[in-house]
A = this chain, B = another copy of it.
C-alpha cells in the first residue's frame, strides 16, 4: 500500500501540460487509437484543470464505444459512427474530477469479441510482444495504459472485455458491479449486462478513478444505487476452484496453482451461466439494439462479427425466457456459494493466444478466452483483475477476484494486497483488513 501511495503522490505533482506533452511524445503503436484530440485542444484542456481535484491533470483514453463530445463514436464500425453532442456521464465525471481525455481507442467491433483481432482499425499486439494478442474487446484502452501512454483508461466489460485485455497486458482491470458506473452514452452490446470498466497500472490509482467515476445517474434506467454500508470483512474466506481447464497450457496452470485459497468451490454453475451468453439466448440481446443496423448494413460489419451476431437470430422469445429461468437457478447456486466464501479467485484466462492462433479459429478460441469471465455479469458479480507474474516462457499470468454485487470496495482491498505481494515476488496471500 506504501508503494501505491507513493506512486499516486508522484502523479499528483506532475503538471497537466507536462502530462499532455508526454502523451503527445509517446509512441503510437498500430491499432491502439481510433481518434485523438489535437495538441492545441489538449493544452487548452490542461489550462482549465483545477489542481485541487482528485484526478487533476491525469490523462485518460476512452474506448470508442463510449461517447466523448468532439470525437466520433465508431464502435469499431465506420458506417455506424455518429458524433455525440455530450460526454457520457461516466466520462464527464472523470473530466469533472480533473482528468484530461486524450482520445478514443480501438475495440473489437461492437464490443463483440475478446481478442482485439476483430476491428477494421487494426489488431493491437500485447505490450509483451511475441505476436501475442492484446485481448479485447477493450484492446486499445488496455494497451494505451500498459505502454504508459496515459494514466488510466475506460473500457467496457460485458463478457470479459475489460478483464481479458488487462490479463494480456499485465495491468489492473476493474469490472464494477453492474450499474455502479453509468452506461448512458455507451453503445449497447447486451444492455442488461453492459458495464464500463477501468484500466490502470496499479490498484491505488484504479481505485481512485473508480471512486470518481461511479455514481447514480437518474436518467440511466440501468444505474443502481449502492447500498449504504459496504461490508467490511476482517478475514475474507477465499474460494478457489479445482479441475479448471487450462486448454493444455501448463504455464498458466502453474501460475494459478501458486495461489492458495481457503475453500474449494464448484465452478460448474458459473461456467454454465457463462455459456448462456454466446452459446445461449443472450447473444440475441445484442440484436435488440444492433439488429436493425445489421439487417440494413450487412456489408459494413466484419464477417466474423456478423457470424457471431447472426447466431442470435435462431432464438425465440420462449428460448430467451427459458434461459432466464435457468439463469435464476444458477444465480441461486452462486448466492449459496457466497454463504461459504467472500472472494472467489480464478485465472482470468486459461491460456493465451497469438494473432496467428486466433486467425486459425477466431470463434472457438474467443470462447476459450471468455471461459472464466463471461458469467460475472449474468450472475451479478463484481470483479477485479490483477497481474500474477509470468509463465516460464515469459507470458503474462493474471488472477481475477470475484465478489457479489456491491462488494467492489472489499474486492479492491484484496486486489491491492494481492498486487503488493505479487510485486514483492513472494507467494500470494490475501490481506487481513483492520
A residues at B contact (CB < 8 Å): 190-192, 218, 220-222, 281, 284-285, 287-289, 291, 312-313, 315-322, 324-325, 328-329, 331-332, 336
A315 CA to B319 CA, complexed, in Å: 10
Q: By the criterion CB–CB under 8 Å, are A321 and B284 in contact?
A: yes
27 pairs across A/B with beta carbons < 8 Å?
Answer: A190-B321, A191-B321, A191-B325, A191-B328, A218-B336, A221-B332, A222-B328, A281-B317, A281-B320, A284-B316, A284-B318, A284-B320, A284-B321, A285-B317, A285-B321, A288-B319, A288-B322, A288-B324, A288-B325, A291-B318, A313-B318, A315-B316, A315-B317, A316-B317, A317-B319, A320-B320, A320-B321
The 8 closest A-B pairs by CB, nearest first: A284-B317, A315-B317, A320-B320, A221-B332, A287-B318, A288-B321, A317-B320, A285-B321
Q: Which residue of B lies closest to A292 (CB)?
A: B318
Collect the chain B residues with CB atoms within 8 Å of residue A221's CB.
Answer: 328-329, 331-332
Among A312, A320, A322, which residue has the most Cβ atoms of chain B within 10 A?
A320
A217 to chain B: closest CB distance in Å?
10
Collect the chain B residues with CB atoms within 8 Å of residue A288's CB.
Answer: 318-319, 321-322, 324-325
A290 CA to B288 CA, complexed, in Å: 25
Q: Which residue of B lies closest to A284 (CB)?
A: B317
A220 to chain B: closest CB distance in Å?
8
Contacts beyond the supplied A218-B332, A315-B317, A320-B321: 18 A-B pairs with Cβ under 8 Å: A192-B324, A192-B325, A192-B328, A218-B336, A220-B332, A221-B328, A221-B331, A221-B332, A284-B316, A284-B317, A284-B318, A288-B318, A288-B319, A288-B324, A291-B318, A315-B316, A315-B318, A316-B317
